[in-house]
Chains A and B, each alone.
Chain A
């Protein structure tokens, strides 16, 4: 268990640095164009973003409860909490999908249909934020989709009575991955949605 925990954290550190590169780019450009970045908050949906933050936090709780159920050899609870975690994860992706759709309708997708009529002087630099928005939330959503795949694997294996107090390492390791994805979003929410003034 110690070895797999260490290995999983090593993998998560590579993930930290992978997302860290995008956070570094964000820091550089926000420092260069603070007003242009602040102007984008008018177009961000804080209600949906905040709801998604809460949804992910709930999914982290149910994930932690899944690991706990596995440790206690409680197969019924393990499967219940895995399903709940997947429902929260899918809810997040559906809400994210609605947000992406809104961005498309509002002409805020750089490279495809970007228009920034309200603040024309920021049009050029605000695109950088929206580019980062789609890169970062897109990579985050991809990690969520991978996570949902891993959770379905756990659910099938749990159904086959594979996990108990004697063996629950996969549940714990995939749990670490799921919590990591939650931590990424914990930083994305204030940095992408709460930069400047809103209506």
Chain B
């Protein structure tokens, strides 16, 4: 029989408060002009919020090492899916433009 961890109310309320504050923060920051920084900050805040929910509310902190490994493996697979999809799209020339020396005028012309 494993030990059941009962989180203190104080911890749960603190996480709730932090999540609410981060929601306000991400909304506020989105009004600033940061260029690439906007998406980076938005994702950093979202990942922080998700980690708080997983770590405390979902109790990942208290589960067995095997379950922790499963959680991390899930995130690794998610990363593989997104990274390989992105690398595929970013290394293909979807937008066909005739080379400057070619006489082709139409987009996507036949060879």
Task: List A residues at the B interface (Cβ < 8 Å).
Answer: 1-2, 5-6, 9-10, 12-13, 16-17, 20-21, 23-24, 27-28, 31-32, 46, 50, 53-54, 57-58, 60-61, 63-65, 68, 71-72, 165, 172, 175-176, 179-180, 182-183, 186-187, 189-191, 194, 198
Contacts and interface: CB of A to CB of B under 8 A. Distances in A.
Contact of A187 (B50, B56, B86, B90): B50
Contact of A53 (B23, B50, B56): B23
A189 B78 contact: no
Contacts of B6: 68, 71-72
B81 interface: yes
Contacts of A32: 89, 94
Given A6-B64, A24-B85, A190-B45, A13 B70 contact: yes
Nearest to B74: A13
Contacts of B89: 28, 31-32
Contacts, number: 126
A61 B13 contact: yes
Interface in B36-50: 38, 42-43, 45-46, 49-50
Contacts of A179: 53-54, 57-58
A147 to B, nearest CB: 14
Contacts of A165: 4
Band of interface residues on B = 35 or more
SS of A interface (majority): helix
Contact of A24 (B42, B43, B82): B82
B26 A194 contact: yes
Nearest to B18: A57
A65 B9 contact: yes
Nearest to B73: A13
Contact of A27 (B42, B77, B85): B85
B4 A1 contact: yes
B63 interface: yes
B27 A46 contact: yes
Nearest to B45: A190
B75 interface: yes
Looking at A12, A50, A72, A183, the one whose CB has the most chain B CB atoms below 10 A away is A183
